[in-house]
Chain A
Amino acid sequence: MEIKLKLMDESITSKYKPYKSKDGVISSCSLSARAAKGSVVGAKKKYSKKHQELFKNFLEI
């Protein structure tokens, strides 16, 4: 017998939409409470340019 995936209720998905920049600019933020402690955030990614393109492409779906 196949087990069905219990789905997210429409009242949730219709009410709460993640922020999506109108101009396609990808923004990133750290939460204030932990940002002060420092983390691995901000290390440079050598593959980032290509991935930014793929990312923008993905967001257009």
Chain B
Amino acid sequence: MTSTRENLLFRLFKDYYKFFYIENQIALIEGRNYEIIYIFYDTLSTIRSKDTTSSQWMEKLNKLTQIVDDFVSCSFAMYPFLQKSDETFNPNKNIIIKSFNDNVSDIFDQFYITYSRVSTYKQSMIVEELLIEFNNFLSHFTRYILDQDLSSGVTHLYRGCLDGYKDIVLENTTMLLSDIDMRDKFIDLRVQECDNIGLKEENKLFILEIYKQITEDILSLYQCHE
């Protein structure tokens, strides 16, 4: 098997299918496994980045596979009554790539920016609510590449971005209201959100762009006050 990004993306979703099938059965007992979901996020970001090398992709993916296999065997050891999947995960690789490029890549880029910003702001690698949305996206998208009549799940990535940015705004409302330009930009954004309710997420990326600018402004003021 070659180590092209296409094959790695296929492997990532295959590992996710294996992980999700078991994790979903025990999530309400054990709590969500944010560590492994983060590793999926980190691995997908690495595979998509132009800055990384093929050896880094392979190393991360091999570790991911090892962690998922270990998770599955630990889960069955603790809960022998869990159900195994009787479905073989074998979608067309070209469908994965085309679906990802057509439906996901732009929103994933926004999600990456949001996650990085919130993670740095909170000084926390694991941002649980964003990872919940990322996990929801992965589960929908994994079903979608098996059955294209279903939803691709990108709405969860969009929701995650909004949650992350809005959390930074919520924690800094006093600062936001004290700056007239920022305040007016924010109120205008809220009006635009209201006006564009119901549009598809790919047509609302400009909303995320404005949130990105506003949180940038907030964080730069933050640094001025430190």
Contact = CB atoms under 8 A, between A and B. Distances in A.
A46 B78 contact: yes
Interface in B47-78: 47-51, 56, 59-60, 63-64, 66-67, 70-71, 74-75, 78
B109 A41 contact: no
Given A5-B101, A8-B112, A55-B39, A31 B32 contact: no
Consensus secondary structure, chain A interface:
loop
B97 A4 contact: yes
B135 to A, nearest CB: 12
A57 B62 CA distance: 12
Contacts, number: 157
A43 B31 contact: yes
B60 A61 contact: yes
Nearest to B99: A3
Given A17-B116, A29-B124, A51-B36, A3 B49 contact: no
Given A5-B5, A19-B124, A58 B116 contact: no
B80 to A, nearest CB: 14
A4 to B, nearest CB: 7
Interface residues of A, number: 45
Nearest to B101: A6
Interface of A: 2-10, 12-14, 16-21, 26-34, 39-48, 50-52, 54-55, 57-58, 61
Interface of B: 5-6, 9, 27-36, 38-39, 42, 45, 47-51, 56, 59-60, 63-64, 66-67, 70-71, 74-75, 78, 94, 97-98, 100-101, 105, 108-109, 112-113, 115-120, 122-130, 163-164, 166-167, 170-171
